[in-house]
Chain A
Amino acid sequence: MIEVTTNRSGGAAPEAAPQAKAEVSNLSFYYGDFRALKDVGMPVYDKKVTALIGPSGCGKSTLLRCFNRMHDLYPGNRYEGRITLHPDDTNLLAAGVDPIEVRMRISMVFQKPNPFPKSIYENVAYGLRVRGVRGRVALDERVEQALRGAFLWDEVKDRLHEMGANLSDGQQQRLCIARALATEPEIILFDEPTSALDPIATASIEELVTELKERVAILIITHNMQQAARVSETTAYMYLGELIEFGLTDEIFIKPRKKQTEDYITGRFG
């Protein structure tokens, strides 16, 4: 589980140090005059799950939505600092970088399932169509692949042309994950993906997240401490727009360095 540790006792071959997929540095974010993020800096490791935790309004969502430049959709927002995406070292926040290009590489799963009012097939195919994938065969193949990847294929393979909204909540969220997956992103952002789901659907999403990290970097917001402990390798605790503590999940949950983090994790506040 603790693959992230760099020094292991014993003679076993040391595992390769984790590769950073992205690096947040000196990131500040402003909604108009309000500074919602203050000098945040942390890595996002490739093929690992990074959990963002903290009380409501602490800036988790704001940080997450910087990664796919979602803030660009609304007026009066401003970024400062960098999010460097490896291996090409592109600064995702640079004015010269097209937000569309960023979203082509980093996809997102929302808090509430938000399938388009279109068929299951069209929902998954949408990201591909936007990228200009046209051939029927290519689309079919990648839609199936994505649905399999989201553990949804067996449930929907006979009704691909029914509306996505006809699925159960849990299935809808897996449909949204398939949609995010179809375009083979480098990072997937999850904004509290299970907060609207029942425990069984939640368990299947968590299992899915664990499966997906074999392939991509994952950044996930959660209000559920057990969930953070179950699915993530690294955890960032945020409070009032600041990154209070970042480290291995096991260390943060067992032996946090800061009192504030401990208070939040043990439920004494937040």
Chain B
Amino acid sequence: MIAAPLGSSLPAAGRISDRLRKRASRHVPERIIEFLLFAAALGSVFTTAAIVYVLVKESWVFFQAVPLAQFLFDTQWTPLFDDAHFAIMVLLSGTITSSAVALLVAIPLGAVIAIYLSEFAPFAVREVAKPFLELLAGVPSIVYGLLALGLFVYEFGLGQSILSAGLTLALLILPVVIVATREAIRGIPRIIREGAYACGATNWQTVRDHILPYSTPGILTGVIIGMARAIGETAPIITIGALTFIAFLPPAPFAGDPPAGPFDWLFAPFTVMPIQMFNWTSRPEAAFQANAAAAGFVLVLMTLAMNAAAIWLRYRLRRDIKW
């Protein structure tokens, strides 16, 4: 019997837990740190709650004057006219279309750059590119606006259009996409990658069959979080003429007649929501404050929805990726 002598030398289970409990109560600094951390966490919850409270309270005034149906489904935004219309779609359309352009450009470009850097580039190129990427991510967004004004608006002659805005936002989120892709790729275990090469796969086959599919969840969540930030940006888009008054819905994408018509929307003048909010809050009339709050409410809802989508997508796509 081995169990008997071993068992007798062990202290009884009850005594160990008693000792642990006594020790826990003795550590006062431990308790203080725990409380501070808890307070910090609580702070972020309160901030979020406060934002929602202010927005709801302010926009309550707005929605008492404007029916929700009109707000959502009307096609004119003319708050100053006698026959006032309040259609959020007029403002939202600029945000949505410019974001769509940004995504179409930034996802493929960012993914290709990140994949090149982590899978194909010679070691020296990677080392040189890294600090540049980090710098790019840290450039203030207004500087992107200046670049866009000079490059897209004047040099390329794209004008103060949705296309210019979309490309600007694309530049803005490009570093985010690249870093997210790089991190997602880095998360793929070495042994999986080596497994692919050991099967005789080429660089490209490994990327196409493994690296890309396994890093898609990470890329997508990175993209959505970058995008949620970009739709709130004002500075870089002001410089390319979004601080303007738009009363009607711009042409719907791909609605015009070919050959040039379908792309009219890309060159339409536009505005985005954060800029209009900024515009209204700088005016004296109280009614404009309510407008700003209502638009802010929509903006927060959009950001929340995008974050929720990111979480859901990550969950959905990662379910099948187990190492």
Contacts and interface: CB of A to CB of B under 8 A. Distances in A.
Given A73-B194, A110-B194, A163-B322, A126 B199 contact: yes
A59 interface: no
A75 B210 CA distance: 21
B189 interface: yes
> How would you classify the secondary structure of chain B's contact residues: helix, strand, loop or mixed?
helix
A104 interface: yes
Contacts of A111: 191
B320 A70 contact: no
A117 B214 contact: yes
Interface in A216-255: none
Interface string A170-181: 000000100110
Interface residues of B, number: 22
B197 A103 contact: yes
B197 A73 contact: yes
Contacts of A112: 191
A127 B200 contact: yes
A107 interface: yes
A179 B320 contact: no
B209 A126 contact: yes
Nearest to A98: B202
B241 to A, nearest CB: 47
A28 interface: no
A131 B202 CA distance: 10
B253 to A, nearest CB: 36
Contacts of A129: 209
Contact of A103 (B199, B209, B320): B199
Given A110-B194, A114-B192, A116-B210, A183 B199 contact: yes
B197 A116 contact: no
Contacts of A107: 198-200
Interface in A249-268: none
Interface in A110-135: 110-112, 114-117, 126-127, 129-131
A108 interface: yes
B320 A117 contact: yes
Interface of B: 123, 189, 191-202, 205, 209-210, 214, 320-323
Interface of A: 68, 70, 73, 75, 100, 103-104, 107-108, 110-112, 114-117, 126-127, 129-131, 163, 165, 176, 179-180, 183
Given A70-B194, A108-B198, 11 more contacts: A103-B197, A103-B199, A110-B191, A114-B323, A117-B323, A126-B201, A126-B209, A127-B200, A129-B209, A179-B199, A183-B200
